[in-house]
């Protein structure tokens, strides 16, 4: 593969926002004047046949690759995926990455202006994964894309990838579902319940109408700490931290444990860039996930899929278990059930880029892919290095 510098491997793409009109929700509500924020790379072919849709996870955004910059507080979350000579080669593919409905990445969400001009706040309606996919389909319509050559996503993005293939089988040629499930499990919902309570019980929540104030910062920090625990494996946390104290502190005299410091760090990081109401909306959307709803159950829904389906599971994932992925892989059109061998738990779909990009390459029937030279996979996609335990103890 041709070597590229980091800048060349992550071509610049500015965020755009596209009005897509009103959206009828599963709840029966109508969300007026929906706008979808997105980024693109490459050029759409005259016949529209080279479009690829990349879908982000819970607190991700449309910034798949590239450095942080104005209006973009974090670097790309799948570095090395998109660009000339990359697994999604922009000389061949036109890549679209939308920000999810209900979030805070520029697409309509609870912090967006409602029809009365004030932020939606507590009035923002419940949305489902299926609603989010319908919003993305409206964006595709506006961009002139009738069919995607590939839809790919991990975690909640994997939920949406699967929902795309189920809801719009005629619009998806290939689908890659990573670290996701066909339906939200009781265990996944149970882990979310204390997160939702932590935010709503924070005195700064004010029923969801806290704009322009700081909002429930402590509650969101706690919610992220709970969630982040499920993103990593017990074995990895034990290896990195054990029951040791944070460097320079004595846990027996009121100091913190190292793993405690790690979780607190990630809670504070999220608060600096994410809206608490959006976290609630997206978490409840994740809980709503069920491709079998209204379709006769999961097996019947999987039978609707006509796309070539590739499923990736993480060997150590305790949030979306390999067994969850095996259910998705029971779809008649599934070509491959790939195991991402990793100690990192659920976050391995972001960490193990070589394995993940090889899965994408095989789905496209391309030779094994590697991230572009000059980009590095982050061992911790939420920001701290895994190279040494000390580095991971902010």
Residue 222's closest CA among 186, 183, 187, 263?
A: 263
Please state, in angstroms and rounded to a whole number, the distance separating the CA atoms of residues 314 and 316.
6
Task: Evaluate whether 218 touches 210 at the Cβ level (below 8 Å).
Answer: no
Please state, in angstroms and rounded to a whole number, the distance separating the CA atoms of residues 135 and 174.
20
Q: Is 13 a known active-site residue?
A: no
Task: Evaluate whether 178 touches 160 at the Cβ level (below 8 Å).
Answer: no
Q: Is 317 a known active-site residue?
A: yes
Half-sphere exposure of 79 (CA within 13 A, CB side): 23
Task: Evaluate whether 58 touches 381 at the Cβ level (below 8 Å).
Answer: no
Sign of CA dihedral 214, 196, 57, 239: positive
Q: Say which of 89, 131, 308, 317 is annotated catalytic.
A: 317
Task: Evaluate whether 149 touches 49 at the Cβ level (below 8 Å).
Answer: yes
CA dist 168 → 99, 164, 191, 298, 326 (Å): 19, 6, 30, 16, 22
Alpha carbon dihedral 14, 18, 24, 26, in 10-degree steps, equals -10
Task: Evaluate whether 36 touches 10 at the Cβ level (below 8 Å).
Answer: no
Q: Is 266 a known active-site residue?
A: no
Task: Evaluate whether 95 touches 52 at the Cβ level (below 8 Å).
Answer: yes
Q: Say which of 13, 37, 112, 155 is annotated catalytic.
A: 155
Q: Say which of 63, 265, 346, 382 is annotated catalytic.
A: 346
Active site residues: 155, 317, 346
């Amino acid at each position: 593969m041709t070597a590229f510098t980091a800048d060349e491997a992550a071509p610049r793409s500015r965020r755009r926002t596209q009005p897509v009109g009103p959206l009828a929700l599963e709840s029966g509500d109508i969300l007026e004047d929906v706008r979808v924020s997105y980024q693109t790379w490459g050029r759409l072919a005259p016949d529209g046949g080279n479009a690829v849709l990349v879908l982000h996870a819970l607190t991700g955004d449309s910034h798949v690759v590239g450095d942080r910059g104005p209006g973009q507080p974090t670097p790309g979350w799948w570095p090395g995926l998109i660009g000339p000579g990359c697994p999604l080669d922009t000389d061949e593919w036109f890549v679209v990455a939308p920000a999810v409905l209900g979030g805070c990445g520029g697409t309509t969400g609870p912090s967006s202006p409602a029809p009365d001009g004030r932020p939606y706040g507590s009035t923002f309606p419940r949305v489902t994964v299926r609603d989010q996919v319908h919003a993305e389909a409206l964006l595709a319509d506006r961009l002139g894309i009738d069919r995607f050559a590939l839809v790919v996503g991990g975690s909640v993005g994997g939920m949406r990838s699967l929902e795309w293939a189920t809801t719009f089988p005629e619009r998806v040629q290939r689908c890659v579902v990573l670290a996701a499930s066909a339906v939200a499990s009781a265990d996944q919902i149970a882990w979310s319940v204390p997160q939702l309570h932590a935010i709503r019980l924070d005195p700064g929540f004010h029923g969801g109408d806290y704009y322009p104030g700081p909002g429930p910062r402590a509650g969101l920090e706690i919610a992220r700490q709970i969630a982040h625990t499920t993103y990593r494996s017990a074995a990895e946390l034990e290896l990195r931290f054990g029951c040791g104290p944070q460097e320079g502190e004595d846990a027996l005299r009121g100091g913190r444990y190292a793993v405690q410091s790690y979780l607190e760090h990630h809670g504070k990081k999220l608060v600096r860039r994410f809206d608490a109401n959006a976290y609630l909306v997206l978490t409840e959307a994740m809980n709503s996930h069920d491709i079998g709803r209204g379709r006769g159950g999961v097996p019947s829904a999987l039978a609707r899929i006509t796309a070539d389906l590739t499923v990736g599971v993480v060997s150590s994932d305790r949030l979306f278990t390999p067994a969850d992925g095996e259910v998705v892989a029971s779809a008649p059109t599934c070509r491959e059930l790939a195991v991402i061998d990793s100690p990192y738990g659920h976050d391995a779909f972001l960490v193990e880029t070589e394995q993940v990009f090889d899965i994408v390459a095989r789905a496209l029937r391309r030779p094994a892919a590697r991230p572009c030279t000059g980009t590095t996979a982050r061992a911790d996609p939420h920001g701290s290095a895994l190279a040494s335990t000390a580095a991971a103890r902010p």
